[in-house]
């Protein structure tokens, strides 16, 4: 199953990366798009849950990493408050070793 990394910036300008076990998240996010924090959280939850379900259908178990990504996004969003999240890119290659998530 093709993986995808969502590279984005929180309202405070900090760059972040989110792993998806499926490219289905392309239906939810577009490079250059901006989302209010609450909208970004809701879209992330929907997209990553759907991606995890695709894994479950193919392999018999959901993707635990996608669930972890949802929790990480929700935790950081609570610290961010209001503002815009900007999608920088959707990539099929992971970050080089040592770069922050």
**So what's the pLDDT on residue 2?**
80
Question: In terms of residue numbers, what domain contains 13?
Answer: 4-91
- Residue 53 belongs to a domain: yes
Residue 43 CA, chain-centre distance (Å), reads: 9
To the nearest whole number, what is the mean pLDDT of the chain?
Answer: 92
| pLDDT at residue 76 is higher than 90 | yes
Q: Report the number of distinct structural domains present in the chain.
A: 1
- Residue 33 belongs to a domain: yes
pTM recorded for the entire structure: 0.88
Q: Measuring CA to CA, which residue among 27, 17, 24 is closest to residue 51?
A: 24
- Residue 9 belongs to a domain: yes
Tens-place pLDDT, residues 21-54: 999 999 999 999 999 999 999 999 999 999 999 9
**So what's the pLDDT on residue 98?**
55
- Residue 72 belongs to a domain: yes
Query: Exposed, middle or buried, 81 (CB in 10 Å: 0-12/13-18/19+)?
Result: exposed
């Amino acid at each position: 199953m093709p993986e995808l990394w969502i590279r984005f910036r929180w309202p405070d300008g900090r760059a972040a990366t989110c792993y998806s076990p499926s490219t289905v998240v392309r239906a939810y996010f577009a490079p250059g798009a901006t989302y209010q924090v609450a909208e970004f959280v809701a879209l992330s939850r929907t997209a990553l849950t759907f991606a995890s379900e695709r894994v479950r259908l193919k392999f018999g178990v959901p993707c635990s990493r996608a669930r972890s990504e949802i929790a990480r996004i929700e935790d950081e969003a609570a610290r961010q408050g209001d503002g815009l999240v900007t999608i920088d890119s959707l990539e099929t290659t992971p970050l080089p070793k040592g770069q922050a998530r």
